[in-house]
A and B are shown apart, each in its own frame.
Chain A
Amino acid sequence: MEKRTVFSHKLLPYALLAPQLLVTIVFFYWPAGQAVYQSFLIQDAFGISTEFVWFENYRSLFSDPAYYSALGVTALFSTVVTVLSLSFALILAVEADKSLKGAGIYKTLLIWPYAVAPAVAGVLWLFMFQPSLGVFGKMLNAAGFNWNPYLNSGDAFALVTAAAVWKQISYNFLFFLAGLQSIPKSLIEAAAIDGAGPTRRFWSIVFPMLSPTAFYLLTVNIVYVFFDTFGIIHTVTRGGPAGATTTLVYKVFSDGQAGGDLGTSAAESVILMLIVIGLTALQFRFIERKVTY
């Protein structure tokens, strides 16, 4: 879509674009380019000399068990968080979509965690499940579970996952609810007249019509788990114990920290960049399809 009538001015449009383009080039493209360039360099321990080494950083990355561990943690983490938060959100949205008394209040009460910072979500859950004084942490230990997220990998992973799911339900709920409300009621009524019960109507009408929303949310949630959960991990576990909650983004952060290995950290950044590009492309390909649908 294009405007038929426009202003003709030689310099003004460039002046209007200048602030955004300047910020974009200085703080987005230049550092992204730097990351790519640095990923081909190795710096000596004192930072005095650097050597161009082609793909050496990538090669050492892919022979490092710690990197595979981070890949595995990220894959498992994004799968579990996405599946759980989408499922809970769908259940709540389906119930909230029914014309109940107080539906508006439920909606308000379910969407506010969107405004809670991931780091804050992490602190809230840490407080509940702290092994010696947390309300649930103590309960688990009293029941003989030997619960300790500071020491047990599984416990740490579960805690971080719970906080991440809790935080993401509201976002998914909102989109599912909007998706449900856009399904024509006449369609559902027609099916009811034909004798389809609520369960049958859900699986053969509502669910398929909700699939574009679900697919969109799938990619958004994966991006969320990859990047935004950094705050949760940093406040709750610091990537530990023994790397059990070190995701790819957390590893970029910790490898480059305190003048650490910038070449390796940069190579990790580049791989992450490729993953984001892939995910975004997937998301837009799908939106194209939905427009024609």
Chain B
Amino acid sequence: MVENRPFAAIFSHVVLIIGVVIIAFPVYLAFVASSTDATTISNGQLSLIPDRHLIENYAKVLFEGTDRSTKQPMIVPLMNSFIMAMIIAIGKIFISLLSAFAIVYFRFPFRNTAFWVIFLTLMLPVEVRIYPTYKIVADLHMLDTYAGLTIPLIASATATLLFRQFFLTVPDELIEASKIDGAGPWKFFIDSLLPLSMTSIAAMFVIQFIYGWNQYLWPLLITTRDDMQTIVIGIQKMLTVTDALTEWQLAMATTILAMLPPVIVVIAMQRLFVRGLTETEK
């Protein structure tokens, strides 16, 4: 701080604390709701102190499901979300590493074309090509499969750009030394380039795991079977019954379950997350 102004510091703390409270309150309220019973919520008597039904609600929602709406145990969608997020994150990293390696470390006809073909996918988010993509996935018999849920989302210009950017900063001496040792491209890739890329890969993983976990429109269209649903879609299905009948304590328990894994990833890997975010998107 340039000057020492004690009151300014207090003011800053106040502003930040108000900010933190506004950010945290909706989640805290959901947590409290997930620890209470149906009558307390439907009578509008929700207090701000957690109640005694916490374990009961979570056990019910995980292993039995709601009584009135979906009646599906949420452990299945939770697993589906996890599988989907993992396939998307690992798949994106895998195919992007390979293509970035090709673009940076080889010279071949149409190299620039390939780069632009990948780069321009930035301009084609799922939302602008929903129904034609849906039709292709249906024609390939991939509806209600993990392949259909993940592969259409797996091509990623951002990951390729990040790895390309990183490879370009790797000193030329590394490849020269490898070549003198007689190493071929694969050996160089596995033994020299990959170990150096570990931080970039981890940062990318955090971002893409969250991206995969939070998908909404695509799983909404592509899955019809209950056992292929993701957790985020699972919450929405709990709300679609006549509103008065929504079992809010269970819906809120599901909501907490749906955000816990990605939030834990962000907090536990904060440094990697910040790095992944600021480096890829700039």
Residues of A bordering B, CB below 8 Å: 1, 3-10, 12-14, 16-17, 19-21, 23-32, 34-35, 38, 88, 91-92, 95-96, 98-100, 106, 108-121, 123-128, 130, 132-133, 135, 138, 150, 166, 169-171, 174-175, 178, 188-189, 192, 198, 201, 216, 220, 226-227, 230-231, 234-235, 249, 252-253, 256, 262, 265-266, 269-270, 272-273, 276-277, 280, 287
**Interface secondary structure of A, over-half rule:** helix
User: Is B111 interfacial (CB 8 A cutoff)?
Assistant: yes
Contact A24 B117 (CB under 8 A): yes
Q: Of residues 101 to 154 in B, which have CB atoms within 8 Å of A's CB atoms? A: 101-108, 111, 114, 117-118, 121-125, 127-133, 135-137, 151-152, 154
Q: From the candidates B2, B106, B137, name the one contacting A9 in the complex (CB within 8 A).
A: B106
Assembly CA distance A13 to B41 (angstroms): 60
Beta-carbon contact of B106 and A6 below 8 Å:
yes
Taking a contact as CB atoms under 8 Å apart, the answer to whether B155 and A28 are in contact is: yes
Closest CB of chain B to A261's CB: distance in Å? 11
CA distance A15 to B236 in the complex (A): 42
Docked complex Cα distance between A212 and B136 (Å): 40
List residues of chain A with CB within 8 A of the CB of B282: 216, 287
Secondary structure at chain B's binding surface: helix, strand, loop or mixed? helix
- B265 adjacent to A115 (CB under 8 Å): yes
User: Is the pair B125, A227 in contact by a Cβ cutoff of 8 Å?
Assistant: yes
User: Within 8 Å CB of A192, what residues of B?
Assistant: 2-3
Task: Give per-residue flags for B17-30: 1 if the beta carbon is below 8 A from chain A beta carbons, else 0.
Answer: 00110111011011
Q: Are A32 and B124 in contact (CB under 8 A)?
A: yes
CB neighbours of B3 from chain A (8 A): 192, 198
Q: Are the C-beta atoms of B129 and A31 separated by less than 8 Å?
A: yes
A99 partner residues in chain B, CB cutoff 8 A = 1
Contact residues in A for B188 (Cβ distance below 8 Å): 7
- Docked-complex contact B175 and A253, CB < 8 angstroms: no
Judge if B172 is at the interface, Cβ distance under 8 Å: yes
**Residue B42, interface by CB 8 Å:** yes
Which of B52-60, B65-73, B197-205, B211-219 lies at the interface with chain A?
Answer: B211-219
- Residues of chain A within 8 A (CB-CB) of B248 are 127, 133
A5-B179, A34-B132, A115-B262 are contacts. A273–B19 as well, Cβ < 8 Å? no
Q: A128-B26, A174-B274 are in contact. Are A234 and B130 (CB under 8 A)?
A: no
> B residues within 8 A CB of A100?
9, 12-13, 16
Cβ A23 vs Cβ B101 within 8 A: no
Q: Indicate if B181 sits at the interface (CB-CB under 8 A).
A: no
Query: With A14-B108, A117-B232, A276-B123 in contact, do A35 and B132 touch (Cβ < 8 Å)?
Result: yes
Chain A residues within an 8 Å CB radius of B270: 108, 111
Given the interface contacts A34-B135, A115-B262, A266-B131, does A21 sit within 8 Å of B41 by beta carbon? no
Known: A108-B267, A117-B214, A234-B220. A3 touches B251 (CB 8 A): no
- Write 8 A-B pairs (CB below 8 A) sorted by A numbering: A20-B96, A27-B136, A30-B136, A95-B19, A112-B263, A120-B235, A127-B33, A235-B236
Given contacts A21-B114, A95-B15, A192-B3, list 4 more A-B pairs with CB under 8 A.
A3-B104, A19-B94, A31-B135, A170-B23
